[in-house]
Structure 1
Amino acid sequence: MSPPPRLSIVLPTLNEAAIIEATLTRLQAMKAAGVELLVVDGGSRDETPARARPLATRVIASAPGRARQMNAGAAEARGRTLLFLHADTDLPPGAEAAIAAALAEGHAWGRFDVRLAGHHPLLPVIAFAMNRRSRWTGIATGDQGLFMTRAAFDAAGGFPVQPLMEDIEMSRRLKRVSRPACLHARVTTSGRRWERGGAWRTILLMWRLRWRYWRGASPDDLARAYRHVR
């Protein structure tokens, strides 16, 4: 058996046929260098698995739900380091080396700064606020490209299987292992959530949901509120 890869990238997908080929194409140089690319599909009704299969190391079928999908990918991953990447997010140049350097400094996990791609003039402001808040709190979102050692993932017990805020709760758990590495290099993620839902409306919605979560609201209740507004 070949030695395990240094890094496994886990991409949870659901109905991302329009973008998955472009995302995976941009990761082919990393794959050629030995990085494992695992696409974990949660039951897409479009051609996402078929389009991903020629470009991924493996395509894994999973029960739906981002947390379940990421845990399923981690269970199949062979890498010593895990990177969880959204299908609409692109890594910066040198991402693998940046992750390795951060972990070598003693961090068990971390995330990148984020840039939001799109046309709305508020997107740079939203990204700035996300990055600043993350540095202050040590809490990361999935849009920022969460990475961690296998040992840290196991110590945290994997992603909590909840329909919303799984990245927030995972960050809480990982903070018990170490402070995060907050990399200045930026992933680029789609601003479609804010452009489709309205920037101010989406900002207020996410802050309201986050506040309720900190106050102890059930993730199931929050997910129902999120789906209703969306």
Structure 2
Amino acid sequence: MRAPLSVVIPTLNAEAALPASLAALYEGLEAGVVRELIVVDGGSSDATLAIAEEVGAQVLQVAPSRGGQLRAGVAAAQGEWILCLHADTELSPGWSDVVGAHMARGGAFAGYFRLGFDRGGVAARAVARWANMRARLFGLPYGDQGLLVSQVLYREVGGYGDMPLMEDVAIARALRGRLRGFDHLAVTSAAKYQTQGWLRRGARNFWTLLRYFAGVSPDRLAAAYRK
């Protein structure tokens, strides 16, 4: 029987973070959970593609748009289940048991992980606490918490939109009432928070979310976000 899980990772110049993310996935291969790894690149100019190819990933190259990249990766996936991860997210040991147990319960619900940061102290814990509360109370996990979803449920809700930003919020809203949080940690990079400032980055993310809910297009939000 073939392993049930396809892992999809969108990338863009991710050479610094990608090796740790990929190393954490070996556990799933050894446990017989992971069927394939699909890396969908949006035009990297660094060693991202070489790193992905070295570990035997299927590499797709498409236009840069995280939603579009995820959509292309899922379309190519052959597993009954999909695990979408950011390139700078590292699943903590034991994740394959958690994922395996969820898949065994059937595909009625999608799942996501509890967020943590790889550094940052008190500020990092505060931001992670807010993110986990937002996911639990409002059903809005972000992409750095991962998304585990069956192919059937993914197709039922329409999948990821081809959008450069907020694709994670859009699919979470489509999955409203059908999301379950795992009490298991996904550790993401704090690099952008430390560069921009924890308060500034957090406020910027919250403002972007409010603007999206107010109807501002993802293209306009992405253009503002990159500035």
Aligned to 2:13: 15
Residue deviations 1:15-62, cap 9 Å, x none?
112232232123223224441211111111111111211213322222
Conserved in 1, the CA contact under 8 Å of 2:68 and 2:164? no
Look up the match of 1:5. 3
Task: Show structure 1 runs of 5+ residues with no match.
Answer: none
Given that 1:21 and 1:55 are in contact with CA atoms closer than 8 Å, whether structure 2 keeps it comes out as no
Partner of 1:92: 92
Question: 5 Å matches for 1:42-81?
Answer: 42-81=42-81
* CA distance 1:106–1:163, shift in 2 (3 Å): closer
In angstroms, what is the RMSD of aligned CA positions? 1.7
Distance between the aligned counterparts of 1:41 and 1:31, measured in 2?
Answer: 22
Rounded to whole Å, the distance in 2 between the matches of 1:151 and 1:59 is: 24
- Looking at structure 2, the residues matched to 85 and 99 of structure 1 have their Cα atoms a distance apart, in angstroms, of 13
State the Cα distance separating 1:105 from its structure 2 match: 6.5
Establish whether residue 102 from structure 1 lines up as the match of residue 102 from structure 2.
Answer: yes
Q: State how far apart, in whole Å, the 2-side matches of 1:55 and 1:106 are.
A: 29
Deviations 1:128-169 (A, max 9, x none): 110011100111100101110111111122211112111000
Contact residue 10 and residue 84 of structure 1 kept, 8 A: yes
Structure 2 CA distance, aligned partners of 1:61 and 1:19?
A: 19
Amino acid at match of 2:190: G
1:153 alignment counterpart: 154
Please tell me whether residue 29 in structure 1 is matched to residue 11 in structure 2.
no
Q: TM-score, normalised by structure 1?
A: 0.91
The percent identity for this pair of structures is 38
1:173 maps to 174
CA distance in 2, matches of 1:83, 1:111: 9
Contact residue 24 and residue 93 of structure 2 kept, 8 A: no
What displacement does 1:108 show? 2.1
* Unaligned 5+ runs, structure 2: none
> In the alignment, does 2:210 pair up with 1:211?
yes
Q: Which amino acid aligns with 1:26?
A: A
Given that 2:39 and 2:52 are in contact with CA atoms closer than 8 Å, whether structure 1 keeps it comes out as yes
State the SS of the aligned residue for 1:170: helix
**Contact 1:39–1:56 (Cα < 8 Å) also in 2:** no
Q: Distance in 2 between matches of 1:207 and 1:72?
A: 28
Q: Which runs of 4+ in 1 moved over 4 A?
A: none
**TM-score, length basis structure 2:** 0.92
Q: Deviations over 1:81-126 (max 9, x none)?
A: 1010111111122223312323416642011111111235301010
The alpha carbon displacement at 1:204 in A equals 1.2
Structure-2 residue corresponding to 1:142: 143
* CA distance in structure 1 between the partners assigned to 2:41 and 2:137 by the alignment: 33
